[in-house]
């Protein structure tokens, strides 16, 4: 067991993780209380964990030795990107790791809710699903800015942009998470693995195994924003790639409901959702569009606090 724990350390100690006075390795297992489960995936579970002595909350991804070995490359990519992007206000921060009872615990900053969960709360608590355009514009600005940072500063494509990978604090901060299948723009993986990710949000060219670029993530961004705006996914539920390709190639390109939103919002969304990748705007030009520029300072806190539930036991997750 000790040899395998050292394998964790050999992998993870190579990262230059600088988080000021915070040091995960000073935490004791007895002082960590699991508040609730936040989700489960192929390579582990994510829990909200409280450090009882300080009151701090963390999102902790827990992986067994076997799962770590199986998903090693994805875990290392996730940690690498989260660590390298710690100066970006639009990506979730990696805080450190511990080897506890034969498991790898990866500590991330805690957030309140995913965009998908927020959509569900609005659906369940309003007679008619509607989100003010200014709210959508601010959230879209933060997501677009985060994706631009990943590409411009780190040469990273996310490859799995979707509502469940966009996290929100009730303070108004919106952050991108889950970098496990991200890739460097010029890496071998970038050249060969086009169809990893979530099929529902993949751009047409990814499903067809054509060229992969920032424009592929931009399509996923557009679908994410459209789904959050309308409260529903714009296509039927696909059971296989052939159904997806048929709809993407033969159905009208998704768009906002007519006459309900401004021309600026329509222009922004249409700039992300074009079947031809080279006709989609890039991040730089998206960030110059009026829809984002005029809403980037809009305060969304009051709206979010209506629908974002507080953490169990009355904990305040906004300690960071």
Catalytic residue selected from 84, 112, 160, 178:
160
Angle at 165 between CA 163 and CA 170, to 5 degrees: 80
Nearest to 175 by CA among 164, 189, 188: 164
Pairing label, strands 44-51, 32-41: antiparallel
- 3-state SS, residue 170: coil
273 burial (CB, 10 Å; 0-12 / 13-18 / 19+) is: buried
Would you say 61 is a known binding-site residue? yes
Place of tokens 């009872």: 101
Mark whether 313 is an active-site residue.
Answer: no
Contact 34, 48 (CB under 8 A): yes
Instruction: For residue 139, give Cα distances in angstroms to 149, 167, 205, 296.
Output: 15, 10, 26, 8
- Which residues line the annotated binding site for ATP? 61
Which residues are the active-site residues? 160
């Amino acid at each position: 067991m000790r040899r395998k724990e050292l394998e964790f350390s050999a992998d993870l100690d190579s990262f230059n993780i600088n988080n000021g006075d915070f040091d995960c390795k000073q935490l004791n297992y007895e002082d960590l209380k699991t508040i609730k489960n936040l989700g489960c995936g192929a390579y582990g579970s994510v829990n909200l964990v409280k450090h009882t002595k300080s009151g701090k909350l963390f999102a902790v991804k827990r992986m067994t030795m076997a799962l770590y070995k199986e998903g090693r490359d994805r875990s290392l990519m996730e940690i690498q990107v989260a660590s390298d992007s710690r100066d970006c206000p639009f990506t979730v921060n990696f805080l450190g790791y511990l080897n506890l009872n034969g498991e790898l615990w990866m500590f991330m900053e805690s957030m309140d809710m995913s965009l998908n969960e927020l959509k569900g709360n609005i659906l369940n608590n309003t007679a008619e699903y509607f989100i003010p355009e200014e709210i959508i514009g601010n959230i879209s600005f933060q997501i677009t800015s985060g994706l631009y940072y990943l590409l411009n500063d780190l040469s990273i494509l996310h490859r799995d942009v979707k509502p469940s990978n966009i996290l929100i604090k009730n303070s108004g901060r919106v952050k991108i998470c889950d970098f496990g299948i991200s890739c460097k723009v010029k890496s071998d993986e970038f050249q060969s693995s086009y169809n990893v990710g979530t099929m529902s949000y993949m751009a047409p060219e990814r499903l067809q195994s054509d060229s992969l670029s920032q424009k592929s993530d931009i399509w996923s961004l557009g679908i994410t924003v459209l789904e959050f705006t309308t409260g529903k996914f714009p296509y039927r539920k696909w059971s296989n790639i052939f159904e997806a390709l048929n709809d993407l190639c033969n159905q009208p390109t998704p768009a906002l409901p007519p006459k309900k939103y401004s021309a600026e919002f329509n222009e922004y969304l249409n700039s992300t959702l074009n079947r031809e990748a080279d006709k989609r705007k890039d991040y730089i030009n998206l960030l110059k569009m009026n829809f984002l520029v005029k809403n980037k300072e809009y305060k969304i806190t009051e709206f979010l606090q209506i629908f974002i539930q507080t953490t169990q036991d009355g904990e305040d997750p906004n300690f960071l």
